[in-house]
Amino acid sequence: MKAEFIAVVNKLEEGRSLDKKEYRLLIESACDETFDFIREKAIKVRGKIYGRGVYIRGLIEISNICKNNCLYCGIRKDNGLCQRYRLSDEEILLCCKEGYDLGFRTFVLQGGEDPFFTDDRLCGIIGQIKSRFSNCAVTLSLGERSTESYERLFKAGADRYLLRHETADKSHYERLHPSDMSFENRIKCLYELKSIGYQVGCGFMVGSPYQNSDTLAADLKFIETFEPDMCGIGPFIPHRDTPFGEMPAGSVFLTCYLLSIIRLIKPNILLPATTALSTLDKNGREKGILSGANVVMPNLSPESVRGKYELYNGKAHSGAESAQLVKELCRSMEKIGHSVLTERGDIKK
Ligand code: 5AD
């Protein structure tokens, strides 16, 4: 290992901050040896704060109807081959009930930007979840909405919001999204969510088309300065019915390497081992946890719609990806020396 690399890692450990050039050096140095070096430090800082516990979140995919046309995404508006669905209030509450009985204390309502889910409707759903399961956290992952909407949903009881920034480089953002979406608005939404009081998650895909070490360095710098409570990263996986259908998938290795770096930037961050990671590698979840992740998000959506929320081809939704198999998940975490925690799992400050 080069002395320069070690010096930069030490600087990150001590000050939790690097300039973009230094982040680029870390990214460009990725190999087995540097990964082991960084990973060990990442696991150590995580251990001091969270021990060996892994938080679980029940993911409920409430709608795959979306008004946007993100070039990478399988549920983009123009994908006429996607079978659309949305869940009713009753179905969503049933998922929560089932999840609650399985031990979940966080429900993540995720969906495309579906105009059917108005503020009134969502406030009603959130209110019901919070009154029936008052010791649970509600996380929303419903894309870009107005300030007023974010405020109303927060007042209704939502605790957290996930909105991946997708890339912190404006020109890269514009190559991944159609011209009616804006980088500025994406970032504005994130800052707004934070100032309203949500615990906020950002994130990006690893290996998205046109990504390079510069754009990745910008992502890391963004995470450092924005200080999210959560950060979702997973490999890009092409979906055949999108403009990026022929693009190569991202790397499991680089995803894990970046998980370790993000843990070092923000030791107390909540970092999921994502479904995309498990989709590309049957041991992806374990690898993610062993790289510094401390959250997993099994799927609580009704069996009948699960295959339809296909952001990318082959999306895993059975086995330990399915919330019904919490026991299997516990076993797999125990095998690698970790234990599943059934508590809300807020960020430790
Ligand atoms: N591969 C991997 N991740 C994807 N997402 C969307 N499409 C893909 C894909 N093809 C991610 C985006 C989005 C999140 C819900 O899923 O980052 O924010």
Token representation of residue 55: 């938080």
Q: Is the pLDDT score of 137 beyond 80?
A: yes
Listing DSSP states for 9-68 in one string gives: HHHHHHHS---HHHHHHHHHT-SHHHHHHHHHHHHHHHHHHHTTEEEE-EEEEEE---S-
Instruction: State in Å: Cα 331 to ligand 1 middle.
Output: 28
Residue 265: Cβ within 10 Å count:
19
* Inter-residue contact 230 to 12 (CB < 8 Å): no
pLDDT (mean) for 315-320 = 77
Report how far ligand 1's centroid is from the alpha carbon of 115 (Å). Answer: 20
Query: Residues of 92-111 as b/e, b for ≥16 C-beta within 10 angstroms?
Result: bbebbebbbebbbbbbbbbb
pLDDT at 324 over 80: no
pLDDT value, residue 66: 98
What is the reported pTM?
A: 0.98
Mutate to test the pocket of ligand 1, among 76, 252, 311 (most ligand atoms within 8 A of CB): 311
In the chain the first and final C-alpha atoms are separated, in Å, by 34
* pLDDT at residue 323 is higher than 90: no
3-state secondary structure of 157: coil
Ligand 1: residue of 72, 166, 309 to mutate (most ligand atoms within 8 A of CB) is: 72
Q: Is the pLDDT of residue 320 over 70?
A: no
pLDDT confidence band for 214 (50 / 70 / 90): very high
State yes or no: pLDDT of 10 exceeds 80.
yes
Rounded Cα distance between 279 and 291, Å, is 17
Give the pLDDT confidence score for residue 255 in this predicted structure.
Answer: 98
CA nearest neighbour of 133 among 161, 98, 168: 98
**Residue 11: burial class (beta carbons within 10 Å; 0-12, 13-18, 19+):** middle
Cα separation of 206 and 237, whole Å?
Answer: 9
C-beta separation of 7 from 37 below 8 A: no
Nearest-angstrom CA–CA distance, 246 and 71: 12
The pLDDT > 90 percentage for the chain reads: 96
Distance from the alpha carbon of residue 260 to the mean position of ligand 1, in angstroms: 20
C-alpha atoms less than 13 angstroms from C-alpha of 33 in its C-beta half-sphere: 6
- Contact predicate 192/161, CB 8 Å: no
pLDDT tens track for 146-177: 999 999 999 999 999 999 999 999 999 999 99
- Spell out which residues line ligand 1, taking CB within 6 angstroms: 72-73, 164, 166, 205, 234, 236-237, 239, 276, 311-312
Q: How far is the C-alpha of 283 from the C-alpha of 306, rounded, in Å?
A: 21
